[in-house]
Amino acid sequence: MKGLRFGSVLAGNNNINNNHRKVRLSNRSSNLPGMTLSCAGAFAGNMQTYNHLYERLCGYDNLFLAFLKAKKRKAKKAYVLEFEKNLANNLYGLQWELLTSTYAPRPHTTFTVRDPKTRKISASHFRDRVVHHAVCNIIESIFEKRFIHDTFANRRGKGTSAALKRFSYFLCKVIGNGNMTFRERERESQIFTSIGLCP
């Protein structure tokens, strides 16, 4: 997996535009498929570059930390125990595949869950989850400071409950400001007051 292709997986077409904040991933030419991350703010002069990210991604310490995160709350699962039985060799093998650009994700496992409703789940192979966590270990701190306050998906300390709370805050603000007709406001107010979203 070359650095540029790796960048494409992370950022779609190598360009993320999030509320006028641009992030560009590019490949640097070297024997090791290095990756450079350039972050531009709203002003063109506000550019910060992060170098050697791919080298850090492939580091054994990063892969070991990623293994610990992937193992969390799954320590007794057979696939985790199997991976852990030969941990050093598995991590060095994964590191070698990343460094030599031969890493390829394994096929997803698909299964059905019926609690509380029936849904089809596609789960990544455990070694691929280790790579996912390894990537997040490197880029999370870079992207975290660039997100707006109201970005909730896959962020520490935020999630569905926080997003719903923020949504209800804005909804109650709109209802209270008179931007809705009287009937709409009355209906929404009754609904959201009854389920405890608006005071």
**SS3 (DSSP) at 196:** coil
Specify whether 20 is located in the same domain as 89.
Answer: yes
**If residue 35 lies in a helix (H) or strand (E), which one and from where to where?**
strand 34-40
The answer to whether residue 132 is domain-embedded is: yes
Specify whether 122 is located in the same domain as 53.
Answer: yes
Range of the domain at 112: 3-144
Specify whether 167 is located in the same domain as 105.
Answer: no
Q: How far is residue 175's CA from residue 184's CA, in Å, rounded to a whole number? A: 8
* Identity at 169, one-letter amino acid code: Y
**If residue 70 lies in a helix (H) or strand (E), which one and from where to where?**
helix 60-71
Of the ranges 31-35, 134-138, 143-147, 185-189, which one carries the lowest mean pLDDT score? Answer: 31-35
Handedness of CA 55, 56, 59, 63 (dihedral sign): negative
* Identity at 147, one-letter amino acid code: F
The answer to whether residue 155 is domain-embedded is: no
Q: Tell me the two tokens of residue 119.
A: 């849904």
The answer to whether residue 130 is domain-embedded is: yes
The answer to whether residue 102 is domain-embedded is: yes
Q: Tell me the two tokens of residue 114.
A: 């019926």
Which residue, 119, 144, 169, sits at the end of a domain?
144
pLDDT in tens, 130-139: 999 999 999 9
Specify whether 88 is located in the same domain as 174.
Answer: no
Q: How far is residue 10's CA from residue 140's CA, in Å, rounded to a whole number? A: 12
When the pLDDT of each residue in the chain is averaged and rounded to a whole number, the result is 76
pLDDT in tens, 26-76: 444 344 555 556 655 544 456 778 888 999 999 999 999 999 999 999 999
Specify whether 114 is located in the same domain as 174.
Answer: no
Specify whether 139 is located in the same domain as 164.
Answer: no
Specify whether 66 is located in the same domain as 127.
Answer: yes
Specify whether 92 is located in the same domain as 54.
Answer: yes
The answer to whether residue 140 is domain-embedded is: yes
What's phi and psi for 8, nearest 5 deg? -65, -40
Strands 47-50 and 109-113: unpaired
- Whether residue 162 contacts residue 152, with contact meaning beta carbons closer than 8 Å, is answered with yes
Specify whether 31 is located in the same domain as 90.
Answer: yes
The answer to whether residue 153 is domain-embedded is: no
The answer to whether residue 150 is domain-embedded is: no
Specify whether 128 is located in the same domain as 180.
Answer: no
Specify whether 95 is located in the same domain as 122.
Answer: yes
pLDDT in tens, 94-126: 999 999 999 999 999 999 999 888 999 999 999
Q: Tell me the two tokens of residue 47.
A: 């550019």
Specify whether 137 is located in the same domain as 168.
Answer: no
The answer to whether residue 182 is domain-embedded is: yes
Q: How far is residue 69's CA from residue 53's CA, in Å, rounded to a whole number? A: 19
- Long-range Cβ contact pairs of 65-68 (< 8 A, separation 24 or more): 65/133, 65/134, 65/137, 66/130, 66/131, 66/132, 66/133, 66/134, 66/136, 66/137, 67/91, 67/130, 67/133
Q: At what angle do helices 160-177 and 182-194 cross, to 10 degrees?
A: 150
Q: How far is residue 131's CA from residue 99's CA, in Å, rounded to a whole number? A: 13
Our count of domains for the chain comes to 2
